[in-house]
């Protein structure tokens, strides 16, 4: 059985449509009958990732592969990149501009939450070129 492959464009600077890709993925997982607890983990991690792309990178692409035992989410952007990944991973650390914070985003919990709700997370980033975040959630049965 091959994986189910889904691709989404994430529009930049658009908070209204932010979350639409994670929404589609949630819907798909529910139709597949994936346990609600895993759907929730995927929802939280992917939503945070999408919001990050909107805030920091002017959007990007979400590539999702669903296997019987896991989901692999790759979020790829061509934004400014992350100079210090270790620092960016710290709870509460944020580089979001005030305008974004005024909207209630940018609390510095995005990346930590993505790590917390996934079974593995890998960040590859080059300053000036962009960031690719790969997250895996296992569906333990």
Partner 1 sequence: MDKSLHTVTLDSDKCKGCIACMKRCPTEAIRVRNGKAKVHYDRCIGCGECVRMCPHQAKLPAYDPFEDIFKYKYRIAVPAPSLFGQFNNLEDVNLVLNALLELGFDDVFEVARGAELISEETRNLMREGKLKKPIISSACPAVLELIMMRYHSLLSHVIDLVAPADVALRLAREKAEKEGVPPEDIGVFFISPCPAKVYALKTGMGLNKPAADGVLSIGELYFKLLGVMSHLKDKPLKQLSKTGILGVRWAASGGESLGIYQNKYLAADGMENINNVLKAMEDGSLNYIDFVELGACPSGCVGGVLNVENPFVARVRIRALRDKLPPVANRLTEEDKPRRFYHWECPPTPQDVYKLDSDFAVAMEKMQRIESIYKSLPHLDCGACGAPSCRAFAEDVARGETTYEMCTRRDNQ
List of residues contacting partner 1 (CB under 8 A): 1-2, 4, 6, 19, 22-23, 26, 28, 30-33, 36-37, 39-40, 43-44, 47-48, 66, 68, 113
By C-beta, is 21 or 125 nearer to partner 1? 21
By C-beta, is 8 or 125 nearer to partner 1? 8
User: CB–CB of 121/133 below 8 Å?
Assistant: yes
Look at the block and give the residue holding tokens 């985003």.
105
Least gap, CB of 86 to partner 1 (angstroms): 24
By C-beta, is 37 or 98 nearer to partner 1? 37
Least gap, CB of 23 to partner 1 (angstroms): 6
Least gap, CB of 46 to partner 1 (angstroms): 8
Least gap, CB of 124 to partner 1 (angstroms): 25
Runs of H (alpha helix) within 58-132 = 85-88, 98-102, 110-116
Q: Is 39 exposed, middle or buried (0-12, 13-18, 19+ CB in 10 A)?
A: buried
Q: In the Cβ-directed half-sphere of 21, how many Cα atoms lie within 13 Å?
A: 28
By C-beta, is 46 or 88 nearer to partner 1? 46
**Residue of 56, 65, 55 lying closest to 8 (CA atoms):** 65
């Amino acid at each position: 059985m091959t994986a189910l492959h889904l691709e989404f464009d994430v529009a930049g600077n658009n908070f209204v449509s932010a979350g639409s890709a994670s929404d589609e993925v949630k819907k798909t997982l529910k139709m597949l009958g994936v346990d609600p607890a895993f759907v929730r983990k995927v929802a939280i991690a992917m939503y945070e990732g999408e919001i990050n792309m909107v805030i920091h990178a002017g959007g990007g692409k979400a590539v999702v592969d669903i296997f019987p035992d896991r989901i692999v989410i790759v979020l790829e952007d061509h934004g400014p990149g992350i100079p210090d990944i270790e620092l960016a991973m710290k709870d509460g650390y944020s580089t979001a501009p005030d305008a974004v914070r005024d909207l209630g985003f940018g609390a510095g919990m995005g990346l930590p939450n993505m790590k917390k709700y996934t079974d593995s997370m890998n960040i590859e980033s080059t300053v000036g070129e962009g960031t690719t975040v790969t997250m895996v959630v296992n569906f333990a049965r």
